[in-house]
Amino acid sequence: MAAVAYLDHAASTPMHAEVVEAMREFFDGCYANPTGAHRMAREARRAGDDARDILAEALGARPGEIVFCGSGTEADNLAVFGAAAGSGGTVVCSAIEHPAVLRPVEQLGGRVVGVDSAGMLDLDALAAALDGDVRLVSVMLANNENGVVWSLEEVAEVMARRAPGALLHTDAVQAFPWLDVAARAAPADLVSVSAHKFGGPKGVGALVVRDGVALQPQIVGGGQEAERRGGTPNVAGIVGMGRAAQITVARRAETVERVGRLRDRLADGLRAALEGVTESGVRPASGAGMPVDRSAKVAGSCHLCFEGIESEALLFLAERGGVYASAASSCASGAEHPSHVLAAMGYPRSLARGSLRLSLGAASSEADVETALAVLPPAVAQLRRAAA
């Protein structure tokens, strides 16, 4: 395959070479079921326990509070359905949650809270949605489309006043590559993450379940994960997730600084090259020298809307030029309807249909940015001419 500018890291990141190497033994050497009693099974179990220790430290949890799952989606589902099951209580989430949270909340007849035009949670609306019947509040730490980061401390303060008995869940899937989740998610009772968002393998996620939180398992029959999630553990995936978390934490500060500069170069370059570009999740700058304030976003997020085009056509031209991106979240990309995130932020349908999510990651380079800056402006111009 020819070299490409991969700008879809929010959908999935390349695995670190060290992660691939760490997993290799559990494909062709130590392949036993870790629930067994013989030596190979014990070795597999020990490797999983070591990874659990690493992930627990990275998330500010105890090893016994980690529940390994098959994905971030499963972790979110387990948090919402597991906490709500049998409680008779109400569940609440924001309007821009990932569908892995939003759909379960809707299915349970829960309440959905709005956001403002910059994608920030409406805390007054949250307070109005809370009462003594609320069992769970789920708000993401960083949004998967616009990259906006929320303060869980502020959410927890509102909950303490309005629904002191409720649990707080956060989807930290997009946050972990960029933020100190151990500190930022400390107020949360339940925390979801997914390995393939930070250099680990696909098919493995985790849910932090703080001590004392009652959670009804959604997959039963095996008794694994302290009776909270049945099924034979994916040892190779768990080992890979642990190694990826270790690498991410060790390199996070440098990655955030470097990638943040690349993101700014990309966003500023596209805004300068084209008219009719709206960048989501930002506010006007308070000082000179910067066109917008991106301090509320994670470093890898560049989400733009281009007036007068359709994103699917732009993605086609971008791919022809070697730029790989997406229109919205990976689960919605290619869908006929514009992003529910942009709709909740009040974007008109005519503008939202021209959205483009350019997401950078630890492997992103200056060459990726320069390729995108060379390919995207003429592609947008071509589409606008064709539509005129």
| pLDDT tens string 272-295 | 999 999 999 998 765 545 578 999
Say which CATH topology domain 17-247 has.
Aspartate Aminotransferase; domain 2 (3.40.640)
Evaluate the CA torsion angle 356, 362, 367, 370 in order and state its sign. Answer: positive
Classify burial at 16, counting beta carbons within 10 Å of its beta carbon; exposed 0-12, middle 13-18, buried 19 or more.
Answer: buried
With a CB cutoff of 8 Å and minimum separation 6, the contacts of 257 are 299
Which pLDDT value is given to residue 331?
52
* 44 neighbors 235 (Cβ within 8 angstroms): yes
With a CB cutoff of 8 Å and minimum separation 6, the contacts of 144 are 10, 98, 173, 174, 329
Q: Is 338 helix (H, G, I), strand (E, B) or coil?
A: coil
> Identity (one letter) of the amino acid at 226?
A
Which pLDDT value is given to residue 333?
46
Tokens encoding 77: 């589902």
pTM: 0.95
| Phi, then psi, of 67 in degrees rounded to 5 | -115, 115
Q: Which one, of 147, 220, 152, lies nearest residue 184 by Cα?
A: 152
**Delimiting residues of CATH 3.90.1150.10 domain(s) in the chain:** 5-12+252-387
3-state DSSP percent of the chain in helix, strand and coil, to 5: 45, 15, 40
| Helical spans, DSSP H, in the chain | 17-28, 39-59, 72-84, 99-107, 123-129, 152-162, 181-184, 224-227, 235-273, 311-320, 340-344, 349-352, 366-387
Which pLDDT value is given to residue 373?
97
Calpha distance 305→150 (Å, rounded): 22
Strand partners, 66: 208
Which pLDDT value is given to residue 334?
47
Mean pLDDT of the chain: 94
**Delimiting residues of CATH 3.40.640.10 domain(s) in the chain:** 17-247
CATH class of 5-12+252-387: alpha beta
Q: How many CA atoms lie within 13 A of 106 on its CB side?
A: 10
Residues of the chain with pLDDT under 70: 1-2, 285-290, 329-337
Active site residues: 331
